[in-house]
Structure 1
Amino acid sequence: MEKILEVKDLHISFHTFSGEVQAIRGVDFDLLKGETLAIVGESGSGKSVTTKAIMRLLPESNSEIKNGEILFEGKDLAKLSNKAMQKIRGKDISMIFQDPMTSLNPTMKIGKQIIEPIVKHQNLSKSAAKERAIDLLRLVGIPQPEARFNQYPHQFSGGMRQRVVIAIALACNPKVLIADEPTTALDVTIQAQILELMKELQKKIDTSIVFITHDLGVVANVADRVAVMYGGKIVEIGTVDEVFYNPQHPYTWGLISSMPSLDSEDEELYAIPGTPPNLLYPPKGDAFAPRNEYVMKIDLEEQPPMFKVSDTHYAATWLLHPDAPKVEPPAAVKRRQRQFPEKKEGN
């Protein structure tokens, strides 16, 4: 399949009063046409920084792309001028933000907010843009779109506001849609509706999606592939079945073990011990080493490369080195593998 977006060896730093925070430390991934790639990890792992860099939304005053490329249709977004980027942002690459109330202007009618990107990027008349905006409201499941067009954000529920934000993001039929934890601010019932809506919309408009979340349960329902981030790096990447049912990195094991399960034999959920690294002082070896119960001496001294598990599955852990001792994954991971042996094999 054709790649629509490639991120290569991306390094991003923030210059603060305390010093240089090396927030992204060599991130590599690509996005294929029509697929959904989920990026998962704890808060502070670098998920949002990576995707805001793609949109060129990082603050220019204290952030710096120190190295790497962000290739979209052959163009390196990291090197484009602000003016050139404005022609891409909102048109070819759109973003759905986490909190719909802060994404929408409370003083503007919903219709006007949807019309803005249509008029800017598609050269439609105001009447044609209004028709398109009403169609979008209908597409994302807003009842009585003609009447809702003239209402303000405070007249919508949280779930309806998020649907409006999705409508704005889809206004120009973007080739890449970045969803930054789009369901975190919603209750679980509305969350399920929004996720279902995004799956339906992807089929209808044939867009590629980068879906950021800290919730692995969400990933299983929406993603084709999953990238697990920790300490400013991708530590495991593969198809959703490979990462869920045959995970290789101890951090991924911890994330899966901390997910609630209806058939869990344990009364208490697992919690990964310790805290993420302070990227003012990036670790010399594997960033996960201080929290890794399977830690080896080499983990403290040298960063692991990406080891190949299959043609689509890679993980950065020294446990995959031929000379490493054989380690059994935790009980929660093995339980999944027993329940779904065909998925472990990638079938």
Structure 2
Amino acid sequence: MDKILKVNDLSVSFDTYGGEVKAVRGVTFELKEKETLAIVGESGSGKSVTAQSLMRLVPMPPGKFTGGSIEFNGENIVEKSEKQMESIRGKDISMIFQDPMTSLNPTMTVGKQIAEGLIKHQNMSKKEAYHRGVELLKLVGIPNPEARIKQYPHQFSGGMRQRAMIAIALACNPKVLIADEPTTALDVTIQAQILDLMRELQDKTGTAIILITHDLGVVANAAHRVAVMYGGKIVETGTVDEIFYNPKHPYTWGLLGSMPKLDGGSEELQAIPGSPPDLADPPKGCPFATRCPYAMKVCEDHMPQYTEVSASQKNACWLLDQRAPKVDIPDTAIVGGTKVHG
């Protein structure tokens, strides 16, 4: 598969009263056509800022790009003007936001919000755009779309609002769809329906997806590859099977240990002790060193380089250095049950 998006050494900061907050620090990853890449990590790890940067939605100021590039179709998005970005947003790269109730305009009908992008980017007439809107609502599983398209967001349930957001995001057949915590505010039954819908739509449209989430349970059945993010950095990448069955970074072990197990084992969840680093004064070494039970002196003083575990798995941890002591994956990080999608 061809690479459709390439992020190289991306850094994003925010000027605040407390100083410069380095929210994203040297992030690098690639996205292939028809692929779903999940970016996972705790709140404050830099996931959403990375996602918003791909569409240049980070408010500037106070935000600013301090390094790196975002290549889409061979062109660097970081260097584009706001006017040039207007022709990309919604057309080539689209986004499903975390809370559809605050993302949808309460004063406009759902149909008008779908039609906006179609009229702007596809040069459709209002009648054509509304006809396409009905098709999109039907595609995302909203019943009676002819009537629903005339309604306002407050007349939709939470799950239906999220489906409407997906319809808006897919209206112009984008090449890349960014889903920022798309199931956070939904109950587990609706979560499953939304994730199933995204997979079905990807099969039909071929859209590449970046899934931002803190929930590894969502990742298991929704993604092909995973990037684990912590302290503004990506600390491990790999296929879903590699991350779930052969994780190499202690932070990934901690995330897996905090997942509920369905294999009849201990019901006690394993919390990661401590707090994420202050990115106004980021550590000079591994960002996870102060919370890592296996940390060595070198972890605090020097940032680890990426080690290639396999052709598809990379890890930034000093434990993979040949001079480091051997550490086994803790039992709490071993995933039981059915083999996950990968």
TM-score of the alignment, normalized to the shorter chain, above 0.5? yes
Q: Distance in 1 between matches of 2:210 and 2:265?
A: 34
Q: Distance in 1 between matches of 2:129 and 2:267?
A: 55
Q: Distance in 2 between matches of 1:86 and 1:300?
A: 43
Instruction: Tell me what 2:320 maps to.
Output: 320
Q: Give the conservation status (yes or no) of the 8 Å contact 2:236–2:316.
A: yes
Quote the offset at 1:332 in angstroms. Answer: 2.3
Quote the offset at 1:125 in angstroms. Answer: 1.3
Instruction: Tell me what 1:307 maps to.
Output: 307
Matched, 1:59 2:59: yes
Instruction: Tell me what 1:99 maps to.
Output: 99
Instruction: Tell me what 1:209 maps to.
Output: 209
Instruction: Tell me what 1:132 maps to.
Output: 132
1:290-321 deviations in whole A, cap 9, x for unaligned? 00001111101100011010000001000111
TM-score (norm 2): 0.98
1:28-74 deviations in whole A, cap 9, x for unaligned? 00000110000000000000000101110011121110100000001
> Structure 2 vs 1, CA of residues 236 and 2 (structure 1 numbering), >3 Å: closer, same or farther?
same
Instruction: Tell me what 1:43 maps to.
Output: 43
Instruction: Tell me what 1:193 maps to.
Output: 193
Secondary structure of the 1:154 match is helix
More deviation in 247-256 or 127-136?
127-136
Instruction: Tell me what 1:115 maps to.
Output: 115
| Matching residue's letter, 2:170 | L
1:193-222 deviations in whole A, cap 9, x for unaligned? 101100000001110000000000000010
Question: Which consecutive residues of structure 2, in runs of 5 or more, have no partner in the other structure?
Answer: none
Instruction: Tell me what 1:218 maps to.
Output: 218
Secondary structure of the 1:88 match is coil
Instruction: Tell me what 2:266 maps to.
Output: 266
Q: Distance in 2 between matches of 1:274 and 1:334?
A: 22
Instruction: Tell me what 1:69 maps to.
Output: 69
Instruction: Tell me what 2:80 maps to.
Output: 80
Quote the offset at 1:266 in angstroms. Answer: 2.2
| Matching residue's letter, 1:326 | K
Give the paired residue count: 342
Quote the offset at 1:120 in angstroms. Answer: 0.3
Q: Percent identity?
A: 64
Question: Which consecutive residues of structure 1, in runs of 5 or more, have no partner in the other structure?
Answer: none
Quote the offset at 1:264 in angstroms. Answer: 4.7
Match runs of 1:149-298 below 5 Å: 149-298=149-298
TM-score (norm 1): 0.96
Quote the offset at 1:322 in angstroms. Answer: 0.9
Quote the offset at 1:130 in angstroms. Answer: 1.1
> Structure 2 vs 1, CA of residues 100 and 328 (structure 1 numbering), >3 Å: closer, same or farther?
same
Q: Distance in 2 between matches of 1:45 and 1:173?
A: 30
Q: Distance in 2 between matches of 1:206 and 1:230?
A: 30
Instruction: Tell me what 1:33 maps to.
Output: 33
